[in-house]
Structure 1
Amino acid sequence: KGVAMIEAMLPQANAVRRESVPASHLRLGLQCGGSDGYSGITANPALGAAVDLLVRHGGTAILSETPEIYGAEHLLTRRAVSREVGEKLIARIKWWEDYTTRNQGEMNNNPSPGNKAGGLTTILEKSLGAVAKGGTTNLVEVYEYAEAVNAKGFVYMDTPGYDPVSATGQVAGGANMICFTTGRGSAYGCAPSPSLKLATNTTLWNRQEEDIDINCGEIVDGSSTVESMGERFFRLILETASGAKTKSELHGYGQNEFVPWYLGAVM
């Protein structure tokens, strides 16, 4: 039945033609995976700078991964456009505290071994860096998992921290591009929406340049700044939206990254 439904959509899909539209049509899903000690000072704030530019042009950016903003949620609630929006985010945090307790876990049981090997020691360090992906503009709305995102500006979607599950929710909600920062070298591709990857350090870039789209390690190397890297990445976002292929698209992978949030404990 599902195949038949897709086949029925094909004539309409085939009739679509590329046309020029403003940047306000963009909805970015913001992700970080395999974070390291550089994430919070290079790739994440550079992505945040690009997000600020996108919001200024009327676009939308979706921050997610609730277990990985834990302890830094106050940095988001203080940016909420209303008390109601801030309370929505706090309600999701409390839901996660209950969810992890019911599944014999805890929100503080993070970061991962890979994060620790990369220099992160606590969830608070990881969360402070993760929040930087969202830039500095107002938080205008909070959504539940895979809920349709219809607000413009910087928004939050409640998802697990597991990247494929989180990004699947963002894409289901309307994200037409994924921006994925990594310090450990997560090889992520997203077939439904182009996925741009940002390296946090030059060592990783030199090792995985064929798979990563931009090197934010230049910031800590001293050859670039957060602001200039953000501007460069914003231009790359526009180029990708205009048809330029991401590294993962050139390699032809991302077909296995559709992972809905299944029943059971998922962090």
Structure 2
Amino acid sequence: MTTLTPALTDLAILLRPGDDVVVATRDLQSGATVLHDGEPLTLAQSVPRGHKLAVRAVPAGAQVRKYGQSIGLATRDIAVGDHVHTHNLGMDDTAREHEFGTARVHLPAPDGPPRTFQGYRRGDGRWGTRNYIGILTSVNCSASSAKLIADQFRGPLLDAYPHVDGVMALTHQSGCGLVPASEGAQIMMRTLRGYAAHPNFAGLLVLGLGCEMLPAQSLLDGLDLAPDKVVRTLVIQESGGIRKTVRAGVEAITEMLPAIDALRREPAPVSELVLGMNCGGSDGYSGITANPALGHASDLLVAHGGATILAETPEVFGAEHLLTRRAVSEEVGQALLRRIDWWQSYAAHGGGSLDNNPSPGNKAGGLTTILEKSLGAVAKGGSAELAAVYEYAERVTAKGFTFMDTPGYDPVSVTGIVAGGSTVVVFTTGRGSVLGCKPTPSIKVSTNTEMYLRMAEDIDLNAGRIVDGTATITEVGEEIFEKVIAVASGEPTVSEELDLGQDEFIPWQLGTVT
């Protein structure tokens, strides 16, 4: 009986013609023979699913190419059939050439009537996708009091107010001991004020201690809040301590509930949506399935006049040249490069480098260098031109595809995006992230079917079907776009069903603490 030799194309994906590696779509065993370009190729080592197999010989010191780009330098001779990973692939520090606006794409207007979602109209002209009451703390010293207040509104108490999505405490580890004019203090202030003004909060209780460097009232001074947002302020030292403050806080929120519950959703153009895009627990499929599918969804929303936000600056390092080519101006492209430069100096000052990323989990999933990870991560941004670059937690006002400077650590990154005004987040994951981000709903998309089946109760949509061959990037991208509209209109995500997202409010802490 003759055994047919399988074709490599049935077992792995070649992403670009001329790439030196393919990505295995199943576990490949050492010694197995496959056909590549009509010739037998024998595997020198086993290659796990999602990892890279060499289909071209690469001498030590030469670039290894994937996505048509360098993902690193061979640290030893790589032969055809070798497993390519940390044992034979290292960082490529070759300077990249940066062009500005040379690859701008004008997205065609969408077919059909304008799309809408069901949202909450706010008095400042913005639209919310949720109807929360927030308890915003100016300092960590008021965190426990805020949680005590919020806990009183868990369970049956809110059943009488079905149009109030919840009461959440926004607590953090800072607010005092900061140099007020420092970069760290400014980032913290920007984050807290961004949440205070967020359209997903219809009501706000600002809670302070009374002696902190960032006093409660400073979070509101000069802030352009929606005129219909219900706002109250409490200071623990002035209210007579924790018990009295908690009672007063519960009373204040109880008084807010009827008016906030009376608000109703109404049709809004999808151009009013602000979509935040993030990835975490990435694997070798992230840049092949979920991220490019999300990129297609981003392009669809941009074509409809909406705004999308890509973030995680350390995870675009090595692919930033692809973004600068899409910048609407050299000024926008240079703004991104300045943030990359800042991160390189910041990492060096801490005794590291940006190639300290990927994480151990990323590497177990098949990612080897930050270059490889970044090339997959920027796929979330689709093909639209880069309209603007924002600092961490800065209010996003531009329409179109934008970038925000954030760390790569998921909850810190998403906190900045939400502070910037994101009203829906799509989060892609290959290893299994379980992040929520109140008051903004988080849609989680898996990169592979195996993980989706294992964690189906934590994932909203499976993009692994792309590599399975049962769906295309375009089809899954359209599904994500429709899911964004449905969730923006009130459909709960799995993280919301589990009531996740309060503890994931983690502002970026930076600067001197005294």
Q: Report whether the alignment pairs 1:74 with 2:321.
A: yes
Instruction: Find the aligned partners of 1:251 and 1:2 in 2 and give their Cα distance.
Output: 26
Q: CA deviation at 1:102?
A: 1.4
Which one of the candidate residues 430, 436, 439 is aligned to 1:189? 436
Q: Report whether the alignment pairs 1:180 with 2:384.
A: no
Which one of the candidate residues 195, 202, 206 is aligned to 1:2? 206
Q: Structure 2: which amino acid aligns with 1:89?
A: L
Q: CA deviation at 1:2?
A: 2.1
Instruction: Find the aligned partners of 2:303 and 2:280 in 1 and give their Cα distance.
Output: 26
What residue is the counterpart of 2:406 in the other structure? 159
What residue is the counterpart of 1:200 in the other structure? 447
Instruction: Find the aligned partners of 1:155 and 1:13 in 2 and give their Cα distance.
Output: 32
Q: Structure 1: which amino acid aligns with 2:233?
A: M
Q: CA deviation at 1:256?
A: 0.6
Instruction: Find the aligned partners of 2:326 and 2:256 in 1 and give their Cα distance.
Output: 42
Q: CA deviation at 1:16?
A: 3.4
Instruction: Find the aligned partners of 2:308 and 2:507 in 1 and give their Cα distance.
Output: 20
What residue is the counterpart of 1:170 in the other structure? 417
What residue is the counterpart of 1:243 in the other structure? 490
What residue is the counterpart of 1:16 in the other structure? 263
Deviations along 1:118-146, one digit per CA (max 9) or x if unpaired, are 01011111000000000000000000000
Deviations along 1:96-116, one digit per CA (max 9) or x if unpaired, are 111111111211211100000
Q: CA deviation at 1:25?
A: 1.0
Where 1:260 maps in the other structure, the secondary structure is: coil
How big is the alpha-carbon RMSD for the aligned residues of Structure 1 and Structure 2? 1.7
User: Which structure would you say has the larger Rg?
Assistant: 2
Q: Report whether the alignment pairs 1:32 with 2:260.
A: no
Q: Structure 1: which amino acid aligns with 2:504?
A: E
Q: Report whether the alignment pairs 1:110 with 2:344.
A: no
Instruction: Find the aligned partners of 1:68 and 1:10 in 2 and give their Cα distance.
Output: 42
Matched pairs, number: 265
Q: Which has the higher strand share?
A: 2
Q: Structure 1: which amino acid aligns with 2:316?
A: I
Instruction: Find the aligned partners of 2:326 and 2:383 in 1 and give their Cα distance.
Output: 8
What residue is the counterpart of 1:99 in the other structure? 346
Q: Structure 2: which amino acid aligns with 1:144?
A: E
Where 2:296 maps in the other structure, the secondary structure is: helix
What residue is the counterpart of 1:123 in the other structure? 370
| Structure 2 alignment gaps of length 5 or more | 1-204, 208-231, 235-251
Task: Give the TM-score normalised by structure 2.
Answer: 0.50
Distance 1:101 1:236, change over 3 A: same
Instruction: Find the aligned partners of 1:10 and 1:259 in 2 and give their Cα distance.
Output: 26
Instruction: Find the aligned partners of 1:193 and 1:61 in 2 and give their Cα distance.
Output: 14
Q: Structure 1: which amino acid aligns with 2:406?
A: T
Q: CA deviation at 1:260?
A: 0.0
What residue is the counterpart of 1:145 in the other structure? 392
Q: CA deviation at 1:264?
A: 5.8
Instruction: Find the aligned partners of 1:214 and 1:264 in 2 and give their Cα distance.
Output: 39
Identity of aligned residues (%): 61
Instruction: Find the aligned partners of 2:506 and 2:261 in 1 and give their Cα distance.
Output: 26
Task: Compare 78-87 and 101-110 and name the one that shifted more.
Answer: 101-110
Instruction: Find the aligned partners of 1:188 and 1:159 in 2 and give their Cα distance.
Output: 17
Q: Structure 1: which amino acid aligns with 2:290?
A: A
Q: Structure 1: which amino acid aligns with 2:479?
A: R
What residue is the counterpart of 1:58 in the other structure? 305
Where 1:108 maps in the other structure, the secondary structure is: helix
Where 2:388 maps in the other structure, the secondary structure is: strand
Instruction: Find the aligned partners of 2:301 and 2:256 in 1 and give their Cα distance.
Output: 31
Deviations along 1:228-266, one digit per CA (max 9) or x if unpaired, are 11011111111101110001111111111100001269x
Q: Report whether the alignment pairs 1:215 with 2:462.
A: yes
Instruction: Find the aligned partners of 1:27 and 1:10 in 2 and give their Cα distance.
Output: 27
| Structure 1 alignment gaps of length 5 or more | none
Q: Structure 2: which amino acid aligns with 1:160?
A: P
Q: Which has the higher helix share?
A: 1
Q: Structure 1: which amino acid aligns with 2:430?
A: G
Instruction: Find the aligned partners of 1:14 and 1:173 in 2 and give their Cα distance.
Output: 25
Task: Compare 29-38 and 96-105 and name the one that shifted more.
Answer: 96-105
- Structure with bigger RCO (C-alpha 8 Å, 6+ apart): 1
Instruction: Find the aligned partners of 1:78 and 1:126 in 2 and give their Cα distance.
Output: 19
Instruction: Find the aligned partners of 2:269 and 2:337 in 1 and give their Cα distance.
Output: 33
Q: CA deviation at 1:14?
A: 4.7
